[in-house]
Structure 1
């Protein structure tokens, strides 16, 4: 009898153990956040945005353009046009150069290394790169966080790709190249000075910390985990080629012969991706990693990735590779570039789980990627509107047809009456006509006439008078240069760069007057 009781007791304990184990497993599954799955947009909405892209691509003579958008659980990608001169279709899986969208992507990798305990964001760079050096002593205080937020004070240098360096030490060459330069300000972390070198040096840090090329680390540890199968920090086969404007009157384009990639600047501008991959990336960010693939990092990590780090104005700030604006209590994360014949813009509104990315294989007078802002507004509830065409396009084509600049002015006046909502008639758009004539067509006389027409239309625009002054400098007319400068000085700044433009013009006026004397 005793033996039987013991057997029943053991059986009862085993059943109780299994029951509690099942309860624990089921409980853990219930409390674990559900992974999000991408869903398609409603057909009516995709048809709207397809028509917008088609009209935009045609009106603005854009070779190829892609759009990726996320709203809640819905994801959609679309493309139009060609990827190269042979008119290979620009598809949702066509790789393209994303320019400085590289920065928030690279920042994700750096934050992951910090999360893994492999580096400290507040440690000085010299602790990781002993050869990092600048003039003075304050450079020794520059930390990884300062590089991430462009608060290091490292000067801005134009990126060169006409003599690319693909060697293993290319990033170290970049780091060492600023050894004799002084930081822009004495105390790092006190101001924002945007420089691509911040992220090129961060790529060098990744190499030294992981003991492998940063491109390999990104491919395996970031792109692979995010499901971005076609993304890389090197140019891959089938990449879309950049185009440039070949005629600034007819605005015809041709494929560029120079591809904008140099491994020395790979960290700041070497990111290649596709519309499909960038949609996947936005979906993962907006869902804090809870995408259908797996949880790449914890949700707290994504709060850090999309965090405000340094205020740059009343409603503007900078994050880890992002520009941030605040509108109606909402943070909007932006990253855009016009780089080497490519235009890119990513817009994220985390609170609404909205993301839009627009990319094109041409850059120049206008930025095709700005279409992304209109689509983002549409996803928040606004009407979907076609971007206004710069009036300079219509005026340039009128001049190309007849050769008479008076016909360009007549086109401006006629369209302002008949199609006021289809074109951008602002002082900036009109002035662009003169800028093209002066700097691209190299017709000084017609440029001067264009700027004179602009100040007639916009007598209260400092921007118009500043450009008129530059045309007079080129014409070596010191007297009228001085008069145009004096007009611009008393008008409100509608250019955003009045002070620097005035300084440039005054310096050139002094040189002009010295030569005459």
Structure 2
């Protein structure tokens, strides 16, 4: 997945003397996106010091029925799930139940071993495991149901690695599926139950959960996409996310994502020292943005980790989450349309300018 990131280090930095017209400014930007019909529906919000400064929604949750996309509309978050899973793993590290440099087999004994270096928890968190991503589009858009995360491992665990673990970086959703299975083995319960109790409940996130294939829910957006990132948004076919739940199988709302970001800043999930470790560059040298444990690091050296967050891009979703710890700032944008980065990015760049302007007041 291409990372359209640094342009969207937006809504952020610092705010003083913020006026009520911020909602109107955000609304105008989103309406412009909708007018081009490249995104069916979108919501955005930003907060500073725990308080939402600006938020707005635009477009449709369902184009056919003309159901409006609003602040309470549930939408896929895509890979923003990864920081949540990483935080869950680091909670277990803090509790002494998981070791960063322990091999997968410590927790999943029958996971295939490698000829030389074994895949560790550290490798999985930082995308340096060598586990490949989706084999093809069909695999990404599968309708196959995997009853458990352990069952989902059968999809890829016997495939040849891209490289020896720890020697290179290669972004992979499946590495986080393994982490979810590790959490289940260590805790003796389901990944969903653990993440509900230890992440969502702790942050007060009442509108976030695991998406279940074929199960309808109230106020949930339909899925839309664009053909190869071109043209107008059109209805997309639902795909089954049971092979990637810890990496991108959640739905949420903008309000819940702001709560999540604020909880990260307030050290609700892990100690400050643990979060600082997650913000370090663990992905080896790579182009564009560095990667920590579950976080993209959006500032350049020597300030890597000054801005953290994650993007999301899957069927029916384009999303961006950004957190600036030093400024206590959080921003989120969630669109119900995949392959929409080219439409979202210009808005992100404009919002970056607005945030900098506000910071200078």
TM-score normalised by the shorter chain: which range applies?
A: 0.7 to 0.9
Q: How does 1:2-401 map to 2 (within 5 A)?
A: 42-75=19-52, 76-84=54-62, 85-133=64-112, 136-138=114-116, 141-157=118-134, 158=136, 159-167=139-147, 169=148, 171-186=149-164, 188-235=165-212, 237-238=217-218, 239-245=220-226, 251-256=231-236, 258-285=237-264, 287-289=265-267, 295-313=268-286, 316-327=289-300, 330=303, 331-364=306-339, 366-370=341-345, 371-381=347-357
What is the SS of the residue equivalent to 1:264? coil
Matches of 2:40 and 2:17, distance apart in 1: 27
Question: Is the Cα contact below 8 Å between 2:225 and 2:315 reproduced in 1?
Answer: no
Q: For 1:400-422, what per-residue CA distance to the aligned partner results, in whole angstroms no more than 9, with x for missing partners? A: xxxxxxxxxxxxxxxxxxxxxxx
Paired positions, count: 332
What is the SS of the residue equivalent to 1:375? helix
Pick closer, same or farther for the CA change 1:329–1:121 going to 2, 3 Å: closer
Q: For 1:445-504, what per-residue CA distance to the aligned partner results, in whole angstroms no more than 9, with x for missing partners? A: xxxxxxxxxxxxxxxxxxxxxxxxxxxxxxxxxxxxxxxxxxxxxxxxxxxxxxxxxxxx
Question: Is the Cα contact below 8 Å between 2:104 and 2:111 reproduced in 1?
Answer: yes
Residue of structure 2 in register with 1:34 after alignment: none
Structure 1 residue 60 displacement after superposition = 4.2
Matches of 1:261 and 1:193, distance apart in 2: 23
Matches of 2:163 and 2:23, distance apart in 1: 48
Q: For 1:316-350, what per-residue CA distance to the aligned partner results, in whole angstroms no more than 9, with x for missing partners? A: 42111222232486433242132113111112232
Matches of 2:297 and 2:228, distance apart in 1: 36
Structure 1 residue 137 displacement after superposition = 1.7
Q: For 1:3-37, what per-residue CA distance to the aligned partner results, in whole angstroms no more than 9, with x for missing partners? A: xxxxxxxxxxxxxxxxxxxxxxxxxxxxxxxxxxx
Matches of 2:207 and 2:315, distance apart in 1: 21
Pick closer, same or farther for the CA change 1:160–1:40 going to 2, 3 Å: farther
Question: Is the Cα contact below 8 Å between 1:68 and 1:78 reproduced in 2?
Answer: yes
What is the SS of the residue equivalent to 1:351? helix
Matches of 2:17 and 2:206, distance apart in 1: 20
5+ residue gaps in structure 1? 1-38, 290-294, 384-517
Question: Is the Cα contact below 8 Å between 1:354 and 1:379 reproduced in 2?
Answer: no
Question: Is the Cα contact below 8 Å between 2:61 and 2:68 reproduced in 1?
Answer: yes
What is the SS of the residue equivalent to 1:165? coil
5+ residue gaps in structure 2? 1-15
Please, what TM-score do these two structures have when normalized by structure 1?
Answer: 0.59
Question: Is the Cα contact below 8 Å between 1:306 and 1:320 reproduced in 2?
Answer: yes
4+ residue stretches of structure 1 with deviation over 6 A? 246-249
| Alignment RMSD | 2.8
Question: Is the Cα contact below 8 Å between 2:198 and 2:269 reproduced in 1?
Answer: no
Q: For 1:109-162, what per-residue CA distance to the aligned partner results, in whole angstroms no more than 9, with x for missing partners? A: 11111112221121111110112115x4236x2111110000111122244343
Matches of 2:156 and 2:324, distance apart in 1: 36
Question: Is the Cα contact below 8 Å between 2:101 and 2:120 reproduced in 1?
Answer: yes
Question: Is the Cα contact below 8 Å between 1:174 and 1:197 reproduced in 2?
Answer: no
**Greater fraction helix:** 1
Q: Which has the higher contact order (CA 8 A, sep 6+)?
A: 2
Larger radius of gyration: 1
Please, what TM-score do these two structures have when normalized by structure 2?
Answer: 0.82
